[in-house]
Chain A
Amino acid sequence: MASDVKTVLIVDDSSVSRMMVQNHISDQMPDWQFVHASSGVDALEKLKTVTPDLVTLDLNMPEMDGIEAAQRITEVCPTARIAIVTANIQDSMRRKLQGLGIFFVAVVEKPINEAGVRKILFGM
């Protein structure tokens, strides 16, 4: 079914991390399609041509950090669900994310693993 095929925008400055996210998701959702962005700015550029169902977002990135990127992405593409995949697992960061008023499907710790992907899929 075409509606089951979803598009994922993976935003992370590390290409290895992007590949890890893609591999772990496609392990469970082999039909899903992936678009990569290496920064927040790049993500906004990609959003001009694709409308993803899911965005995975890294927090610690140069230029535009994940928090700002999340806000801009929700403005441009309100239908996309966002999952945070981050190395920053401090409580203060979780509180900050909650304060944004964006409904994140999941906040997942790096490096991503099967359990993390399940958390994201469950949130959708």
Chain B
Amino acid sequence: MNIVLTELQKETLEEVFNIGMGRAAAALSTLVNEEVKLSIPSVRLMRRKEAALVLGGTSRRVCSITQVLRGEFGADAILIFPEEKSLQLVRLMLGESVDLTFVSEIEREALTEVGNIILNACIGTITNLLEGEFSISLPVFKQGDCVEIMQGATDEQEQVVMLLHIDFSVEKYEISGHVAFVQDVRSYQGFVERIERFIQKAMRS
């Protein structure tokens, strides 16, 4: 199985993700009433462990919200916030004054909903552009370091994944995070076919 993307495919993938995250950022921006800044997206093939390191490694505690896509291709869409900042974010939205050190159930659920809104905006745009049929899971909340969070997604540690990755930040709340699409190579072929079709259509060739 050929897993190397052509330059055009890679670039298109990044653009599709960019458009999806544009929607997601707009959704988040409406929630927090502040501008959300996005980095230039990047796509890379790497081992799962390396992907965890790219996203923050074991040094930082993070909260993650994951939704799993199944269909013509599969992928885990993961939103990652640093733990401390994400608490600030929901507490701001909930108007809570008590500074508890643990994530309460209510905060955890509120954060999951925020993740759900962001991920849906992103996933919806991508699946729409690529015209695929998918089932999408409910969001799942996790807490830990990035390695722990990446572990759950699939069982094989050494597996090669495609990491599609973008940073976002809300300056006023000093919040930044990542959205990542992690895909194992098995479901990757279908994805590349979709991309290719999208390119053909765009180029009218």
Q: Tell yes or no: A99 within 8 A of B by CB.
A: no
Give the residues from 37 to 86 in chain A that come closer than 8 angstroms, CB to CB, to chain B.
Answer: 60-62, 86
Q: Any chain B CB within 8 A of the CB of A7?
A: no
Contact residues in B for A28 (Cβ distance below 8 Å): none
- A86 x B11 contact (CB < 8 A): no
The residue from A87, A90, A91, A92 contacting B18, defined by CB atoms under 8 A apart: A87
A60 touching B26 by the CB < 8 A rule? Answer: no
- Complex Cα spacing A104 to B18, Å: 22
Interface size on B, residues (CB 8 A): 24
Q: Is B202 in contact with A89, judged by CB distance below 8 angstroms?
A: no
Q: B45: CB under 8 A from chain A?
A: no
Kindly state whether residue B106 has any CB partner on chain A within 8 Å: no
B113 within 8 A of A: no
Which of the residues B35, B40, B202 comes within 8 Å of A20, measured between beta carbons? B202
Residues facing A in B10-27 (CB within 8 A) are: 11-12, 14-15, 18-19, 21-23, 25-26
Q: Tell me, yes or no, whether B38 is within 8 Å of chain A by CB.
A: yes
Interface size class of A (residues with CB under 8 A): 20 to 34
Tell me, in angstroms, the Cα distance from A89 to B34 when the chains sit together: 13
A68 → chain B closest CB, angstroms: 15
By a CB distance below 8 angstroms, the chain B residues around A91 are 29
B15 touches A17 (CB 8 A): yes
Are A14 and B26 in contact, CB atoms less than 8 angstroms apart?
no
5 A-B pairs closest in CB distance:
A87-B22, A92-B35, A14-B15, A87-B19, A90-B29
B interface residues (Cβ-Cβ under 8 A, vs A) = 8, 11-12, 14-15, 18-19, 21-23, 25-26, 29, 34-36, 38, 40, 129, 198-199, 202-204
Q: Residues on A close to B: CB < 8 A?
A: 13-17, 19-20, 23, 60-62, 86-93, 110-111
- Complex A-B: 12 CB contacts under 8 Å: A14-B18, A17-B202, A20-B202, A23-B203, A23-B204, A60-B40, A87-B21, A87-B23, A88-B26, A91-B29, A110-B18, A111-B129
